[in-house]
Amino acid sequence: MCVCVTFIAIVDGAITTVALPSIARTFHLTTAALDGVVVVYPVCLAMAIPASAWLVERFGAKRVLLTALGAFLASSLLCGAAANLAQLVAFRAVQGLSAGLLFPAASSLLYSTFNSWEQVRISRYMIVPQQMAPAVAPVLGGLLVDHLSWRWVFYVNLPLGVPAVVFGAVFLAEHRGHRPGRFDLTGLLLSAAALGSVMFGVCEGPNRGWSSPAVVTALVLGAVLLTAAVLFELRVAEPLLRLRLFADRLFRDTNLINLVGLVPILGAMYLGPLFLQQGQGRSALESGTSTFPEAFGVLLTVQIVGVLYSRVGPRIIIGCGLAMVSGVLLLFATCDQDTGLWTFRTYMFLLGVGMGGVFMPTTVASLATLSRKDLAQASTLNTVVRQTGGAFAPAAVTTALVLSTPTATAADPPVTAYQHAYLALAALAAATSLFAFTLPDGPARAAARGTTAAGGTARPKRRHEEAH
């Protein structure tokens, strides 16, 4: 169920871009005029995330997950049937709001069902949709647009999503944490407005320019609102976002690694197609087949990490993974116009090998020292951090390219600009790697072995009837 939900949500977030030219022709608009169709999704997703933990605690993870998935599918149907741009943007916003509840609810249900050593095994399967979905989305979108219609980019969610709703309603067991307190409306308004403003500024910065009034206003407003939200949530008795969880060092450090470490990782994924198509003049098909090997590298490493996690701990795995990412990015920095596709594909595979040592260990370790009653809140905070780090990645790449590009050729960055961008990402990955080696991962290793940190046996409680 969680694999299906993750796959659907990630594909939908990535597939729409392929359909934009066809949508523009249908509504007699320019592609640039459809910017809202793309941006509204991550903005609304970020705005919905803060409320997810309270809803999961109040109504249960199963009910929230199925309701959000139902709303997501209904809005997908409405997006496909939209008669004009205004309707499409409005229904796309509902999709984003639904997705903002899907990710934390699925994570909460998954990690409350399984204990730490089982979570390592489960994560080896969860990584499959997370890696395959971004690779499949452009290809699937192209086929649907070319052979059917852009509307099927949204309709395609239904054949997979409707059976998932039925399956979940019948087989999923309910899990509910402790009874939440009164709903923190002020915290929701502040955090949602802050995250939405920041996400808008970061997403629109590369398109409108970082000095444009709209982007500057959004970022400044987002920073002010975010500061106010943090101060308020730390003072209120029953906060919507339990920021005090960051007092746990392992939870705080793994999230900091995700926030910063995702920038070079996802930045490289964003930069690769740009280099191939703009720097080398390759086709979109050549670009897609050359970035796809990264997924195989991740899938290979995660299976190995699943075996090694309890033996060596997340600290060494994450640190070595990020160090390898940094080294591979240095290899990318040597690429020029004459670099062959198979060389680039080899580098992408190696990048995936390094990435596989980061994704799963940070997630499992972040929850290792927290109590079960805090899992919904922790999953929400994890999602906020990952979404923010993911949004910063293209912004960092675009900034690096602009700074390395002469003004006269700003529309066509030279190969040296891409090389400088790879070097900047490599430096960031190296710095994050050094920080990862300071992780206090003793409790995480103990939890993965089913023992206490002091060496005693902590017999895991199996609840496989909830795992379907």
Please give the model's pTM, rounded to 2 decimal places: 0.74
Task: Give yes or no for residue 382 having a pLDDT over 90.
Answer: no
Average pLDDT, the chain: 78
462: left (phi over 0), alpha (psi -120 to 50) or beta: beta
- Whether pLDDT at 431 is above 90: yes
Q: Tell me what pLDDT residue 462 has.
A: 40
pLDDT greater than 90 at residue 350: yes
Query: Three-class SS of residue 451?
Result: strand
- Burial class from Cβ neighbours inside 10 Å (0-12, 13-18, 19+) for residue 123 reads buried
d(CA 286, CA 340): 11
Which residue did the predictor score with more confidence, 185 or 180?
Answer: 185
Q: What is the pLDDT of residue 256?
A: 92
Q: Where are the alpha helices (DSSP H) in 81-115?
A: 85-113
Burial code of 423-441, b = ≥16 C-beta within 10 A, e = fewer? bbbbebbbebbebbeebeb
Highest mean pLDDT among 201-210, 268-277, 398-407, 456-465 belongs to 268-277
Q: Which residue has the higher pLDDT, 101 or 121?
A: 101
Task: Average the pLDDT over 296-305 and give the result.
Answer: 83
Which pLDDT value is given to residue 460? 41
pLDDT at 425: 94
Give yes or no for a contact between 301 and 357, defined as CB atoms under 8 angstroms apart. yes
Q: Return the structure tokens found at 26.
A: 């249908």
Q: Give the C-alpha separation, 36 to 44, whole Å.
A: 11
What are the residue ranges of helices labelled H in 148-283? 152-155, 157-171, 185-208, 213-235, 249-274
Q: Distance between CA atoms of 49 and 64, rounded to whole angstroms?
A: 12
- DSSP of 406-423, one letter per residue? -GGGTTS--HHHHHHHHH
pLDDT of residue 429: 94
Residue 452 binned pLDDT confidence (cut-offs 50, 70, 90): very low
Q: Which domains can be identified in the chain, with CATH numbers?
A: 1-183 (1.20.1250.20), 245-454 (1.20.1250.20)
pLDDT for residue 319: 92
CA gap 7, 365 in Å, rounded: 23
Question: Rounded mean pLDDT of 273-280?
Answer: 79
68-80 tens-digit pLDDT: 889 999 998 998 8
In the block, which residue shows the tokens 């990048």?
Answer: 351
| Contacts with 138 (C-beta within 8 Å, 6 or more apart), sequence order | 14, 15, 17, 18, 288
For 28-87, the pLDDT digits (tens) are 776 555 666 777 787 788 778 888 877 887 787 788 888 988 999 999 899 888 888 888
Break the chain down into helix, strand, coil percent, rounded to 5.
Answer: 80, 0, 20
Q: Which of the four pLDDT bands, split at 50, 70 and 90, describes residue 195?
A: confident
> What is the pLDDT averaged over residues 392-417?
73
Residues 121-144: pLDDT tens digits?
A: 666 666 666 666 666 666 676 677
- From the list 339, 392, 368, the residue with the least C-alpha distance to 449 is 368
- Residue-wise pLDDT for 102-119, tens only, equals 877 777 777 666 655 566
Given a cut of 80, whether residue 175 has pLDDT beyond it is: no
Q: Are 94 and 82 in contact (CB under 8 A)?
A: no
> What is the predicted pLDDT for the residue at 436?
92
How far apart (Å, rounded) are the C-alpha atoms in residues 428 and 447? 30
Residues of the chain with pLDDT > 90, as a percent, come to 12
Half-sphere exposure of 106 (CA within 13 A, CB side): 24
- Quick one: what percent of the chain has pLDDT higher than 70? 79
**Residues pairing with 457 in the sheet:** 451
Is there a contact between 156 and 7 (Cβ–Cβ < 8 Å)? no
User: What pLDDT does residue 187 have?
Assistant: 78
Name which of 12-16, 390-394, 400-404 the model is least confident about. Answer: 12-16
Q: pLDDT class for 374, splitting at 50, 70, 90? A: confident
d(CA 418, CA 367): 37
Q: So what's the pLDDT on residue 118?
A: 62
Residue 365: how many other CB atoms lie within 10 Å:
31
